[in-house]
Amino acid sequence: MNLRTVSLRRRVAVSVLLVLFVMLVTLVIAVDRTFAGQSSRDVDGVLRDAETRAVTSLKIGVPPREVVRQLSKRNVHVTVELPNGNLVGNAPDEGQFKRRTGNVAGNKVTLYADTEAISQAQHRLRKLLLVLGVGAIVVTGLLIVVVVRRALAPLDAMTSLAQAIAAGHRGGRLNPSRTDTEMGRTAAAFDGMLDSLEGSEQRTRRFVADAAHELRTPITGVQAVAEALVQAPVDSPDRDQMSFLLVREARRAGRLVDDLLALAQLDAGHEMQREPVDLLALAEAEVARTRYVAPDFDITAEGVPVVVVGDGQRLAQVLANLVDNARQATGPSGAVRIRVDATGFTVSDDGPGVPEGDRERIFDRLVRLDDARDRRSGGSGLGLAIARGVVRAHGGELTCEPSSAGAVFRVRLPAPQNLSPG
């Protein structure tokens, strides 16, 4: 998306001035035509009235010369052409006139109305409208600068706040007084974005610090054991034990790095493979794996064959993570059940369960409910966060369900036709 960055002040000012200019031009044209039309009607009325009086006077026998004298005024001239061709009165020979002619008893009556004064008035009116229009545009332009500056002050505040945050000054907010206006909604969205960004930044910093702390433990162990191994005599009876410890700590660090990489890939939107996956076959394969690791452990899979489209390796990782967590929670004498249905699968156990207040927190990164046990088992506290990320990348959801006994983890996956692209 390429946002046009034309000056908003300039755009508003030019738009308003353009609208004002069009309105003023329209107004000038309308006033000019209205004035011209009304003036023409007034002149026509004067001529009709003079004609009526002339006709009436001639009909009752008033001499033509007297008629001319009575009707001729400053702006109206009358001539009467007698039947013998003689002309009574003087026709104007210069200026702008409007003429009207009539016949009465063989006499031709002609009336002239002087329109020069009206033309001059119309010209002065046009000049006045032009001066007023230009003045209005200039005054409006100056006022727009002030009004627009004041109206766009919230945008300046947003810009200043964004620049301050970019410079490292965190915590500033706009705190709009109203959120039911355009600027109020924008400012509230801006504050919400800042809250989200700062919260994400804090979570990222905390996660990096926690990850560094987690890595430091196995790396320190690797370093200590390696130094001891180097310094130990070749025939020392402790070399085998130290070698075992070195391999264990290295594997622990490797698992943590793999988990961190998996999370980074999920956060970056790493594309999942898309292939048909039989969930029941996946569950049965996990049962076989667990029995190979712990032959006496009580674990079973049941349900109906369900095929979804997804990344089989990632979904197997989710199932293995849930089963391993359940096996660690129940201990060697516990029981784990995997049930597959049309919407996904459930992993339940008969262990101590998950407290209600922790059913969502356990999906946060580097969270352990039993820290000591998880450290002994090599757990990083990232397994459930990775599992939820994988399921959500498939368009589904992983939750810890309420249960009267033990823990129940529910994986819901969309039907193949509704599966969103990874």
Please report which confidence band the pLDDT of residue 298 belongs to, taking 50, 70 and 90 as the band edges: very high
- Burial code (b: 16+ CB inside 10 Å, e: under 16) for 218-243 equals bbebbeebbeebeeeeeeeeeeeebe
Mean pLDDT score, 341-348: 93
- pLDDT > 70: what percent of the chain? 86
Cβ(80)–Cβ(107) under 8 Å?
Answer: yes
Domain with CATH 1.10.287.130 in the chain: 182-266
Q: What is the pLDDT of residue 278?
A: 93
* Opening angle at CA 95, ends 94 and 96, nearest 5: 130
CATH fold label, 272-418? Heat Shock Protein 90 (3.30.565)
Q: What is the pLDDT of residue 94?
A: 67
Specify the residue for token string 């007084």.
Answer: 177
Q: What is the pLDDT of residue 282?
A: 94
Q: What is the pLDDT of residue 401?
A: 92
Least confident of 78-92, 210-224, 324-338: 210-224
Q: What is the pLDDT of residue 213?
A: 64
| Average pLDDT in the chain | 81
The CATH number of the domain covering residues in 8-151: 3.30.450
Please report which confidence band the pLDDT of residue 288 belongs to, taking 50, 70 and 90 as the band edges: very high
Q: What is the pLDDT of residue 420?
A: 41
Mean pLDDT score, 132-147: 86
State the Cα–Cα distance between residues 51 and 67, nearest whole angstrom. 11
Least confident of 196-200, 362-366, 390-394: 196-200
76 membership: H or E segment, kind and range: strand 76-81
Give the model confidence (pLDDT) of 372-419 as tens digits: 344 444 455 678 888 898 899 889 999 999 988 889 999 999 876 444
State the Cα–Cα distance between residues 6 and 57, nearest whole angstrom. 75
- pLDDT > 90: what percent of the chain? 16
Please report which confidence band the pLDDT of residue 307 belongs to, taking 50, 70 and 90 as the band edges: very high
Domain with CATH 3.30.450 in the chain: 8-151
Please report which confidence band the pLDDT of residue 130 belongs to, taking 50, 70 and 90 as the band edges: confident
Mean pLDDT score, 358-374: 68
DSSP 335: E
CA dihedral 36, 42, 48, 54 (to 10 degrees): -120
Give the model confidence (pLDDT) of 221-261 as tens digits: 788 878 887 887 777 777 778 888 788 778 777 777 777 77
Higher per-residue pLDDT: 236 or 54: 54
Q: What is the pLDDT of residue 422?
A: 40
Give the model confidence (pLDDT) of 2-45 as tens digits: 656 667 777 888 888 888 888 888 888 898 889 888 988 888 88
Domain with CATH 3.30.565.10 in the chain: 272-418
Residue 99 has pLDDT above 50, yes or no: yes
Mean pLDDT score, 170-193: 74
Q: What pTM was computed for the model?
A: 0.51
Nearest C-alpha neighbor of 294 from the set 373, 409, 354, 377: 377
Please report which confidence band the pLDDT of residue 302 belongs to, taking 50, 70 and 90 as the band edges: very high
Type of residue numbered 108 = K
CATH fold label, 182-266? Helix Hairpins (1.10.287)
Q: What is the pLDDT of residue 377?
A: 46
Mean pLDDT score, 264-284: 83
